[in-house]
Amino acid sequence: MPLRPLPLGSTKLSGGFWLDRQRTNRDTTIPAAAERLEEVGTLRNFRAAAGQEAAGFAGKLFADTDVYKWLEAVAWEQAREPSADLAGWQSGASALVAAAQEPDGYLNTHTRLALGGQRYGDLEKGHELYCAGHLLQAAVAQVRATGDRTLLDVACRFADHLCKTFGPGRLEGVDGHPLIEMALVDLYRETGTAAYLELASYFVEARGHGLLTPPGHHGPAYFQDHLPVRQVRTIAGHAVRALYLAAGATDVAVETSDAELLEALQTTWQTMVESQMYLTGGVGSRWYGEAFGDPFELPPDAAYCETCAAIAGVQWSWRLLLATGESKYADLIERTLYNAVISGVSLTGDRFFYVNTLKVRADAFADDQRSAVGGRQPWFGTACCPPNVMRTLSSLDQLVATSDDDGVQVQLYAPASVAADIPVGHVGFEVATEYPWHGTVRVRITSAPDEPWTLGLRIPAWADSHRVTINGFEGPLRRVWSVGDEVVLELPVAARRTRPDERIDSVRGCVAIERGPLVYCFEQQDADVVLDSAVVAAGELIEREQPELLGGVTTVEVPGRDGPLTAIPYYAWANRTVGTMTVWIREIA
């Protein structure tokens, strides 16, 4: 792999935008989830499956995953900073999960409580391996973050059972909802057990051969069973499924040195970015099937952009970044995190968007709990998104930097301390910045060997210029560094206008405002004219730092035909009132 992730704990966010969000996640979101998981019966399902309480199954058939994703967040949080609450949640819920496991390693509370223990009867819709996948991921997080092997033992027993059950000459099938592929590779990396990688590889290769019967009116693309993964060039079907599969297939390609598969995945990623992705990094333009649309089918008002799909996109891009070293993947991680992911949770941390639309019309009608028109919700009947946000924020430090044999690369700009062991020795540095509000990034070397190494600084594709100085002078970033050396990167975060591809008919003739990595939007409450018919004009974009607004943002005033309009960062919309909102706005030609 060209790039490697840094070991857990070697990168620590120390302030700024993302640490604020991590604090809210830790102090509000994760504790609130502990209450919700009890209130709605998700934890009780485990007690009932373990025979500790008499109760029927509550929730959706994949509800176990809500506990697993939350446990994953709890684990990553403890790596950031242990606490008695976190430790208590971890030991309590992990013991419950272990108690619910069956003697042969199988574990699924829905199967036990609602199906009388009947397994694998509905691979299309049953989500049994999807649930297993989230358990495996939580287990890997737990042992890495805390050293606690409770879930890892459960996960390995379950994975061993899966290896005995699935594969050529055994049960030949795949799960309707991918995820197990990525999770098995994670478990393989943690344990070194080759059978887990082999099973992941089997699941990737078996897909696309019509093993599944599509549900309802859907076709096989709904769960990516229309084409073998290595033949896909345009991503299709249910967005979360498609992206988890792509991430897992990338893991398999890397671990098996399968260049053909990796190339197919890179091409598919490129097609997605060029033609199937919203400006926010959100994906999924169809409510029907929660699915990708055709190329350039990107209606802003009907956007689905599920929070989980954005998170899955980050996971896939991270894997491709490591596999190729190409910074366009980190660019998309940044775009998606700042926009499509973080819009999924309120500034207060206790309300969530499932759907991250790019436009809400006046008098829009919320006929679905998932609709953004109703504002962020405290929880959902299908509660996949909230705990997915939690684990993403808790593990964000891990995306800040990477390393290779030549040095360390800063991938996300945030106040942080970074340390890494590279072949020439131990390196360390501190990053200070007010990114994304200001474009100055200072890196101060705190530890350096006597040999040359390269400090890599990603230049985002949105930056049309940049300047780097070392101790005040321009020069190469490969050198023998000394403790105290200071590198200053200047990125032009000034507000800019972005125009859509002509082929996206629903926003043709419109413009969007971006500033650094942030996409902006207009809310009716900031406008004196009716937003649905507002038109913006040429002229200066006026930026205003507003420390008291929405947790501290920079707004952008845009000249309009009928007076100026104020734009706020998209992630912050619907945090005051919920009303008309738009990212794209008509522009006078």
Q: Tell me which residues in 283-312 interact with Zn ion (CB under 5 A).
A: 306, 308
> Whose Cβ is closer to ligand FUB: residue 248's or residue 439's?
248
290: partner contacted, choices Zn ion, ligand FUB, none (Cβ within 5-8 A by kind): ligand FUB
Smaller CB separation from ligand FUB, 181 or 290: 290
Q: Looking at beta carbons, which residue is closest to Zn ion? A: 308
Is-catalytic flag, 102?
Answer: no
Q: Which is nearer to ligand FUB, 310 or 491 (CB)?
A: 310
Please identify which of the residues 131, 163, 308, 384 carries the catalytic annotation: 384
Q: Supply the minimum distance, in Å, between the C-beta of residue 383 and Zn ion.
A: 8
Q: Is 425 strand, coil or helix?
A: strand
Closest-by-Cβ residue to ligand FUB is 240
- Judged by CB, which is closer to ligand FUB: 121, or 147? 121
> 124, 290, 334, 523: which one is catalytic?
290
Shortest approach of ligand FUB to residue 38 CB, angstroms?
21
Nearest to 455 by CA among 417, 428, 416: 428
Q: Which does 177 bind (CB under 5 to 8 A by kind): Zn ion, ligand FUB, none?
A: ligand FUB
Answer yes or no whether residue 37 interacts with Zn ion by CB under 5 A.
no
| Position among 385, 427, 558, 578 found at the interface with Zn ion (CB under 5 A) | 385
Please choose which of ligand FUB, Zn ion, none residue 166 contacts, taking the beta carbon within 5 to 8 angstroms, the exact cut-off set by kind: none
The residues near 44 (Cβ < 8 Å, ≥ 6 apart) are: 38, 53, 55, 58
Token pair in block for residue 436: 């994304």
- Helix and strand element counts for the chain (H, E): 15, 21
From ligand FUB, Zn ion, none, which one binds at residue 62 (CB under 5 to 8 Å depending on kind)? ligand FUB
For residue 381, the minimal CB distance to ligand FUB (Å) is 10
Nearer to ligand FUB, 382 or 498 (CB): 382
The residue range among 52-60, 228-236, 376-384, 444-452 that interacts with Zn ion, by the rule CB under 5 A, is 376-384
Structure tokens at 317: 């891009």
CA dihedral 458, 547, 417, 7 (to 10 degrees): -70
Indicate if 523 belongs to the active site.
no
Q: Answer yes or no whether residue 384 interacts with Zn ion by CB under 5 A.
A: yes
- CA gap 372, 527 in Å, rounded: 20
**88 Cβ contact list (under 8 Å, min separation 6):** none
Alpha helices in 212-337 (DSSP H): 239-255, 259-275, 307-324, 327-336
Structure tokens of 166? 């699935």
Nearer to ligand FUB, 60 or 328 (CB): 60
Segment near Zn ion (CB under 5 A); pick from 31-39, 57-65, 190-198, 380-388: 380-388
165 within 8 A of 118, measured Cβ to Cβ: no
Torsion of CA 363, 512, 351, 272, to 10 degrees: 110
Nearest distance, CB of residue 294 and ligand FUB, angstroms? 19
Residue 9 identity (one-letter amino acid): G
Shortest distance (Å) from residue 42 CB to ligand FUB: 14
Instruction: Report the SS3 class of residue 54.
Output: coil
**Distance between CA atoms of residues 144 and 503, nearest Å:** 46
Beta partners for residue 467, in sequence order: 490
Report the chain's terminal Cα–Cα distance, integer Å: 47
Q: Which stretch binds Zn ion (CB under 5 A): 51-59, 345-353, 379-387, 461-469?
A: 379-387
Tokens 């008098």 map to which residue?
Answer: 363
Distance CA 73, CA 138 (A): 8
Residue 384 C-beta: closest distance to ligand FUB, Å: 4
Q: Which two tokens stand for residue 85?
A: 């609450």
User: Which parts of this chain interact with ligand FUB (CB under 6 A)?
Assistant: 62, 177, 240, 290, 306, 308, 382, 384
Q: Which is nearer to Zn ion, 161 or 238 (CB)?
A: 238
In the complex, the smallest distance separating the C-beta of residue 22 from Zn ion, rounded to whole angstroms, is 20
Burial 362-399 (b: 16+ CB within 10 A, else e): eebeeeeebbbbbebbebbebbbbbbbbbbbbbbbbbb
Q: Tell me which residue of 148, 27, 28, 164 sits closest to 97, measured CA to CA.
A: 148
Residue 235 binding result from Zn ion, ligand FUB, none, given CB thresholds of 5 to 8 Å by partner type: none
Give residues in contact with Zn ion (CB under 5 A). 306, 308, 384-385
Q: Which residues are catalytic?
A: 290, 384
